[in-house]
Each structure stands twice: as C-alpha cells, then as structure tokens.
A and B are shown apart, each in its own frame.
Chain A
C-alpha cells in the first residue's frame, strides 16, 4: 500500500507529514513505558521482521498481490507506541533506500500504515481480548482479527485522503469500492501471517509478547518459614 509521490497534492502531503510528526512524537513518549532492557532488543527484531514481511508479496486474485503491513502484528508483539516507531523506521528506510513509497508521500505512508494500521489493529485486538475468554490462547486469534480489520481501514483512509488531495480526476466511489474490496482480501493474508507469527511466539516466549503480558501469572512471592535448624519446610 506504499503511496508513491504524485498521487496526493502538496497541501495534503504537508498535512499528513504534520500528522506523522505529531504521531511519532507521541509514540516516542509512549514507547518509554513499553520498552525496558528486556523488551527493547525484541522491538528492534519486530521492526526487522516487518521489513522482511513487507517484501513477501503474496498473490491475491486476478493479477493482484498484497503484502503484510504489520501494524497489528507489531502492536501485539511490542506494544502500540513502539509499533508506530517500528513501522516508521521501516517506511523511512523503504522510502529513502529502496525508493518504495514516495519521499513527499512519506508522511502519508506513516499516517496510513503506521498510525492507522497500528491504531486500528491494536484497538480491535484490545476490544477482542476484553470479550474473549481470559486465556493466552485468545491472543493469536484476536491479533489476527485486528490485522484483518486494519488493512481495509487503512485502504479506506487512503481514499479519504485521495478525495481531498487526489491529483487525478477519477470516480471516487469506484476507487473506494475497489480499494476496500481488494484490501479485505489482502487483510485475510495479513490475518493469517499475524495469527501464525503471534501464535508461534506466544507458544515459546509469551513473556516477550506485549499483548499477552496480562495473561501471564506474575510469579508470587512464596512465604516460607525457617526452622531453628536453618532448613525450610
């Protein structure tokens, strides 16, 4: 879903650039509470995995492809604020090094895939874990559904921006129908990958999955009485 330069006019691109800057500054503040000595290395690897996953275009139908956006995945693994930073680093490297996604469109891409993709994925995930059984097994399917929803919402957000600042005179209802339709299909792929990856990591290291933390019983302090001889009973 990388928007190239030219699709949106300059004022719209400046506006999304400002939104992205505000979003990243808030994320920098919020990520502090999500990152410590143990989770910071994991978060760097989440960003690396999202970069790799975005290279793996999967065929969708009729000559179209899609790839992981990774917003819901990163949010569940590393926390939502950290996920915004993960996606932003990935999108900046793609834009400047790989020429994937425009440079004046960088703010647009960070807004769509970073802020909206992460935000929607995380909110849907949080809503689902609140109503699903309070078990760690609920985490991967909730993450998958968050991923599924995040993709067409980001696609619809692009159409909203395009309706404000699109440079080409085309029928907006057709753009909206096509964008949302294709991105529901792409969202199914996003859901499959997200569910699989979150499920695999939850099964080996649930403590490194931000969205699973509340389901891990904190080790309780054990009260032992010490006998006069020094042994415990």
Chain B
C-alpha cells in the first residue's frame, strides 16, 4: 500500500473510533474506579482543576446532544494529539543531511 494512502487510512480509522465508535463505548466504571468503589477509596478522589475545560469529560460545552458532543470532543482531542505528537516527532527525528 502506498505511504500516503496507508497513513490517511490509519488516521481515518482513528478519527472514526474517537468520533463515532466512542458513543458505543461501555459507560461502566473502568477497573481502577470500580476497585476504588468496592474497596472504599473512591471518596479520596478530588475534582481535576481541568474540570472547567470546555472539553471536560469528553463533551463539548454548549453541545447538549451526547452523540454530537462526545464525537466532536473525540475528534478535537484526536487532532490535538496528532498535531502535538507529529510536531514533536518532526523535531526529534533524524534529518537527512545534505552536503
């Protein structure tokens, strides 16, 4: 498979998972929060100072619809991760040296 086609396909799969698939994710507590609940240390959790973020808890402030808000938050988050990590890796990578 050609490079560009492969990379675009991989990106599309990731954004589909974050933007569409995530709506169907299980809403049960994950392993850690479940164990915190059953063994009794759940109450020691504090609210994150980032709870005021417009994307807190994978929703978009002002968007009422769960499917739309969650999907948007997933796509925005995915794009932010892509931009930050690609930028970082472009700086860190070995460059071809032309002499």
A binds B: yes
Residues of A48-91 at the interface with B, using a CB-CB cut-off of 8 Å, are 48-49, 51-53, 55-60, 63-67, 82, 85-86, 89-90
A170-B31 CB under 8 A given contacts A35-B92, A56-B17, A58-B26 = no
Contact A64 B30 (CB under 8 A): yes
Contact A51 B31 (CB under 8 A): no
Nearest to B82 among chain A residues (CB) is: A48
Contact B89 A35 (CB under 8 A): yes
**Chain A hits for B46, CB < 8 A:** 4-6, 102
B70 shortest CB reach to chain A, Å:
9
A64-B56 CB under 8 A given contacts A7-B36, A56-B21, A170-B41 = no
- A2 on the B face (CB < 8 A): yes
- A145 on the B face (CB < 8 A): no
Contact A90 B53 (CB under 8 A): no
Contact A49 B13 (CB under 8 A): yes
Q: Which of B43, B81, B82 contacts A168 (CB 8 A)?
A: B43
A5-B17 CB under 8 A given contacts A41-B86, A98-B58 = no
CA distance A154 to B29 in the complex (A): 18
Q: Which of A82, A100, A170 contacts B57 (CB 8 A)?
A: A100
Contact B18 A158 (CB under 8 A): no
- A42 on the B face (CB < 8 A): yes
Per-residue contact bits, chain B 1-41, to A (CB 8 Å; 1 contact, 0 not): 10100110011011101100110011111111011101111
Of the four ranges (under 10, 10 to 19, 20 to 34, 35 or more), the interface on chain A belongs to 35 or more
Contact B81 A5 (CB under 8 A): no
Nearest to A28 among chain B residues (CB) is: B92
Contact A64 B31 (CB under 8 A): yes
Residues of A161-198 at the interface with B, using a CB-CB cut-off of 8 Å, are 162, 166-168, 170-171, 174-175, 178-179, 182-183, 186
**Chain B hits for A102, CB < 8 A:** 46, 48
CA distance A191 to B34 in the complex (A): 21
Q: Give the residue among B31, B40, B53, B80 with the most A Cβ atoms within 10 A.
A: B31
Contact A97 B50 (CB under 8 A): yes
A139 shortest CB reach to chain B, Å:
17
Nearest to A166 among chain B residues (CB) is: B41
**Chain B hits for A5, CB < 8 A:** 45-49
Contact A3 B32 (CB under 8 A): yes
B14 shortest CB reach to chain A, Å:
4
CA distance A55 to B76 in the complex (A): 13
A133 shortest CB reach to chain B, Å:
26
Contact B57 A178 (CB under 8 A): no
Contact B53 A40 (CB under 8 A): no
Nearest to A208 among chain B residues (CB) is: B6
A103-B49 CB under 8 A given contacts A63-B28, A183-B31 = yes
Contact A2 B32 (CB under 8 A): yes
Contact A205 B53 (CB under 8 A): no
- A129 on the B face (CB < 8 A): no
Q: Which of B25, B28, B39, B50 contacts A178 (CB 8 A)?
A: B39
**Chain A hits for B98, CB < 8 A:** none
